[in-house]
Amino acid sequence: MKSFLRKDGRKGIRNVLIVAYLVECAHHVARAIVNRSDDPAVQLIGFPGCFPNDYALRIMQALGTHPNVGGVLLVSLGCEGFNREALAGAIRASGRPVATLVIQQTGGTRKTIEAGLAAVMDMKTRIASVKRVEMTLDELVVGTICGGSDGTSGISANPAVGKCFDQLVRDGATCIFEETGELIGCEQVMMERAVTPGLAKEIEQAVVKAVHYYKTMGYGSFAPGNAEGGLTTQEEKSMGAYAKSGSSRIHGLIKPGDAPRQGGLYLMDVVPDGEPRFGFPNISDNAEIVELIASGCHVILFTTGRGSVAGSAISPVIKICANPETWKNMADDMDVDAGRIIEGEADLDEVGGEIYQRVQAVAAGSQSKSEALGHQEFILTYKSFEPIGPACLPAH
Amino acid sequence: MEAKFILLHPKDNVLVCCQQAGAGEIVTIDKEKIVLMQAMELGHKAARQTLSKGDKIMKYGVPIGSALHDINPGEHVHLHNMRSDYIPPHTRE
């Protein structure tokens, strides 16, 4: 597959131009620039808060230097706490074009939108000539998430993604699964798959942390629709979600924004460190997708039973539909029909192989369903993390 | 015709519904016959055997919670008769 070669050596499968607001007060101006640019490759992201947050800065730096991103326009109101110089500096250091517009200095809404449109036009011409080079599967980073899970997810779409992950890991790709809060109850089986005892201990501690965090919040990562779809407990949902990880050894435990340097299977710990401060670890599926992308994911595999329609800014989202009734109802939004497994019309290997083909096609430029429908959801909120410990990324 | 329920693991004491089924329907899995006590929707669980209060509910070969009271074979196993051993779910009620 042909990729976009960035000056920092990373290879992307899309050539996205990001417009990022740095506080909610700049959201409208940034959105107007994106809307008036009328180009699916010009995409909106942002952070709503006025108070500074190390995590938000780190994630925005990771997104601004993501392999799928060609250039970035920052839109600041001017008085917010976000460190726009540090963000622009990190993007500039990666060799990507970056421009910053400060609304208070530019003269308000109208003038900033006009200046933003000019900046976007200029940057589009600059990133259009980015070098195209061959990219192989061992350079690809793929993340997986489940949303709107039901009783079918854990027996069709999730284990089918697991089969695809097993093949990708054999090919040398980097595969990331996540949400330790949705892996409560799976700690013993995950520990057995860790490549070192030290990593196993870190995985166990991450799940203990997740239980504590969610207990403080009052309930687990379990929505009413999960129960309507036949799931009863957090650990039941967890076992189904866990199947997405396949059967490879677990090579490391990362936190949002950490990018593994070697291929393999990685678990992402998305639950903040320390006492709960900023609310739920992941307020919706897109918060998890953003974190996967911040860790370098080129493509996201999204399994759903009840039927999610979400996509994402920056990286394409491929939908794997677990439930045959949902497939009939929402086929326009779904890329792969794993409900055939429930109906006895296909087996896991067959559907896993289909997902594997779809990953390669989308990486080569084919649009996923959510991408073609214009889904570019994005959400980033407050969190706090300590850096991972030395046992989390053993050499292999 | 394909079976409407599947047994995911030999250690399991619940079956998972793969196709909508009505009350009174007979489900045969590995020569065991179970009569459904309620209508069942896709993705939901039915008890494979008699369960006592406090018993672990087994699915995928692992415990997914505990029985809140005695459960009969063929009975719907859900929020009303089992709960998490870790953390409560979030419902709209």
Residue B89 in tokens: 């779910």
Task: Provide the 10 A C-beta neighbour count for residue A275.
Answer: 9
Express each pLDDT in A321-332 by its tens digit: 999 999 999 999
Are A342 and B42 inside 8 Å of each other by CB?
yes
Express each pLDDT in A261-293 by its tens digit: 999 999 999 999 999 999 998 899 999 999 999
pLDDT at A218: 83
Whether A149 and A40 map to the same domain: the answer is no
CATH number, domain of A10, equals 3.40.50.2300
Answer yes or no: are the C-beta atoms of A133 and A5 closer than 8 Å.
yes
Nearest CA in chain A to B79: A232
Whether A61 and A204 map to the same domain: the answer is no
Which of B18, B64, B78 is facing A235, going by the closest CB pair? B64
Answer yes or no: are the C-beta atoms of A6 and A92 closer than 8 Å.
no
Distance between CA atoms of A122 and A176, rounded to whole angstroms? 35
**CA A136 to chain CA centroid, nearest Å:** 21
- B44 and chain A in contact, CB less than 8 A: yes
Residue A68 in tokens: 């799928």
Whether A117 and A146 map to the same domain: the answer is no
Strand-strand pairing, A16-21 and B45-47: unpaired
Answer yes or no: are the C-beta atoms of A85 and A98 closer than 8 Å.
no
pLDDT at A336: 98
Whether A193 and A128 map to the same domain: the answer is no
Residue A319 in tokens: 């939908």
Are B62 and A231 inside 8 Å of each other by CB?
no
Strand-strand pairing, A174-178 and A69-76: unpaired
pLDDT at B1: 40
Whether A65 and A150 map to the same domain: the answer is no
* Number of domains composing chain A: 2
Are A220 and B86 inside 8 Å of each other by CB?
yes
Strand-strand pairing, A42-46 and A16-21: parallel
Per-residue pLDDT of chain B (93 residues; tens, 9 = 90+): 468 999 999 999 999 999 999 999 999 988 889 999 999 999 999 999 999 999 999 999 999 999 999 999 999 999 999 999 988 776 676
Answer yes or no: are the C-beta atoms of A47 and A56 closer than 8 Å.
yes
Containing domain of residue A377, as a range? 137-386
Pick the residue of A208, A233, A234 with the most B CBs within 10 A to test the interface with B by mutation: A233
Per-residue pLDDT of chain A (396 residues; tens, 9 = 90+): 999 999 999 999 999 999 999 999 999 999 999 999 999 999 999 999 999 999 999 999 999 999 999 999 999 999 999 999 999 999 999 999 999 999 999 999 999 999 999 999 999 999 999 999 999 999 999 999 999 999 999 999 999 999 999 999 999 999 999 989 889 889 999 999 999 999 999 999 999 999 999 889 887 888 889 999 999 999 999 999 999 999 999 999 999 999 999 999 999 999 999 999 999 988 999 999 999 999 999 999 999 999 999 999 999 999 999 999 999 999 999 999 999 999 999 999 999 999 999 999 999 999 999 999 999 999 999 999 999 999 999 987
Whether A174 and A321 map to the same domain: the answer is yes
Nearest CA in chain A to B6: A342
Distance between CA atoms of A380 and A339, rounded to whole angstroms? 32
